[in-house]
Structure 1
Amino acid sequence: MQELWSIPGIYADIYFNKWYNWSIRSRLTPMVEVAKSLKRHENGLLRWFISKMTNGLLEGINSLIQAAKRKARGYRSINNLIYMIYATANKLDINVKPH
């Protein structure tokens, strides 16, 4: 399966289906389970060859939200948590100048 990422995109679906069929026929329970799981996400896996996008950005934003949740402990309302998420995820640069 590792070779999938190094082959030309026009052959990706052929390679994936060949690998999938081999995995299912292998009768190795862990391989069959992985193959079935990847088959359910086949469209997303093959979409990478078109968009070259990963979920890294979303994982990074999720990490920021989790940090905001930790900072928001003890706040009295959900709105304060939401404000903290916006402030953390947006990386706001608030310059307060004295009058």
Structure 2
Amino acid sequence: MAIHPRALRKGAENLTDKQRDIINQLRRTRYRLWRAWELKEEFRDVYRVIDPDEARAYLKSWCTRALRSRIPSMRNLVQRIRNHFDAIIAAIELGLSNSLLEGINSKIRVIQRRGYGHSPESLSTMIYLCLSGITITLPTER
């Protein structure tokens, strides 16, 4: 069976029917790989659906399940989570994430590639124009 890495990286809510079939087949044929995918999906729930007040208990429970899976990479992840547990819980409770900043950085890199060879002033002008939220509408011809 050829495994489609895209199906494993995607969130369960974004899977196509074919990718869902691949995941279901993994459960029957390569249980450990499927279990790692399932743990990844459960971990995503910490930020997506779990009430911040329940995050501490949920994350402790998730760590226990991940350790019981005996998957070495999950054990390493649990160790890292335990080393930074309080900071992770604080970030969840306060709603902190660097995703917005990462998105802005990605957009700036695209703008920079598009404007290769232009002056730094024009680059900063394009960044302000593209990321400021200002929309410019051109007049329509009559």
The TM-score, its normalising length taken from structure 1, stands at 0.58
Deviation at 1:82, TM superposition (A): 2.1
Worse-superposed segment, 5-14 or 64-73:
5-14
- Paired with 2:123 and 2:61, the residues of 1 have a C-alpha distance of 48
- Paired with 1:15 and 1:81, the residues of 2 have a C-alpha distance of 45
Structure 2 unaligned residues grouped into runs of 5+: 1-38
Calculate percent identity across the aligned residue pairs: 28
Is 1:84 the equivalent of 2:126? yes
Partner of 1:36: 79
Partner of 2:25: none
| Residue of 54, 66, 73 corresponding to 2:116 | 73
SS of the equivalent of 2:116 reads: coil
SS of the equivalent of 1:73 reads: coil
Alignment CA distance shift 1:68-1:30 (3 Å): same
Deviation at 1:69, TM superposition (A): 0.6
Structure 1 unaligned residues grouped into runs of 5+: none
Worse-superposed segment, 54-63 or 11-20:
54-63
Partner amino acid for 1:61?
I
RMSD: 3.3
Deviation at 1:62, TM superposition (A): 2.6
Alignment CA distance shift 1:21-1:58 (3 Å): same
* Alignment size in residue pairs: 93
Higher relative contact order (CA 8 A, sep 6+): 1
Asked if the contact 1:72/1:81 (under 8 Å) is kept, the reply is yes
